[in-house]
Amino acid sequence: MASAARGSAPGVVRGHCREGGAESGGDRIGCAREVRGMQIWVLHGPNLGELGRREPEVYGTTTLEEIGARLVERGRELGVEVLCAQYDGEGELVRAIHRAGREARALVINPGAYAHYSLAVADAIRSVPIPCVEVHLSNLWAREPLRHTLVTAGACRGVIAGLGPQGYLLALEAAVALAADA
């Protein structure tokens, strides 16, 4: 049960699992009782709403809605609630990060181009008390030099880049594990 939209309040693609996990002998992370039912927020930055149509030779043909549905499904398997939202504006993204800090147990973020220059987004990530994992679809170090610098990465616990949509799933697993340890 994934509904899709984007740009307003977080929760545009959401799902919640109350089954699976420990009782069903679920997987490694989902078995941890303390992670069951917690919220993990996935925030996407500018232009990522155009995935699937935007430079498919760089970013592939999978849409943001499809990525969100996969994350919700994986969250269900792990026993966590995944909420996804996309923001084109820096201020909106900063506010969403602050809200994630109050409502979520971990954050997965693809800041898009803001990753390369937004101290505001980096500071927002540093301001929240939850672990954050940064994701990029493309391999930034195989691209133009201006994409080799990430100002947000140092504010995150780790970075996954170059693995396409699979990177979000790996980041979700890492975020759940980090939240369980926090």
- Residues found near ligand DQA in the complex (CB under 6 A): 47, 110, 112-113, 115, 136-138, 140, 147
Within 13 Å and on the Cβ side, how many CA atoms surround 71? 38
Q: Which of 44, 87, 114, 136 is catalytic?
A: 136
CA distances from 65 to 15, 94, 116 (A): 13, 22, 24
- The CB-side HSE value for 5 (13 A sphere, CA atoms) comes to 6
Cβ proximity to ligand DQA: between 32 and 160 the closer is 160
Q: Is 114 a catalytic residue?
A: no
Q: Which residue, 22 or 113, has its beta carbon nearer to ligand DQA? A: 113
CA-closest candidate to residue 181, choices 8, 38, 14: 38
Cα separation, 72 vs 55, in Å, equals: 25
From CA 110, how far away is CA 38, in angstroms rounded?
21
168 is catalytic: no
Residue 145 Cβ, how far from ligand DQA at the closest point, in Å? Answer: 12
Q: Pairing relation of β-strands 158-161 and 132-136?
A: parallel
CB of 141 to ligand DQA, least distance (A): 11
Quick count: other Cβ atoms within 10 Å of Cβ 61? Answer: 10
CB of 136 to ligand DQA, least distance (A): 4
Enclosing H/E stretch for 58: helix 56-59
User: Which one of 44, 59, 87, 114 is the catalytic residue?
Assistant: 59
Q: Which is nearer to ligand DQA, 140 or 172 (CB)?
A: 140
Residue 38 or 150 with smaller CB distance to ligand DQA: 150
Least spacing, CB of residue 131 vs ligand DQA, in Å: 19
Task: Provide the annotated active-site residues.
Answer: 59, 136
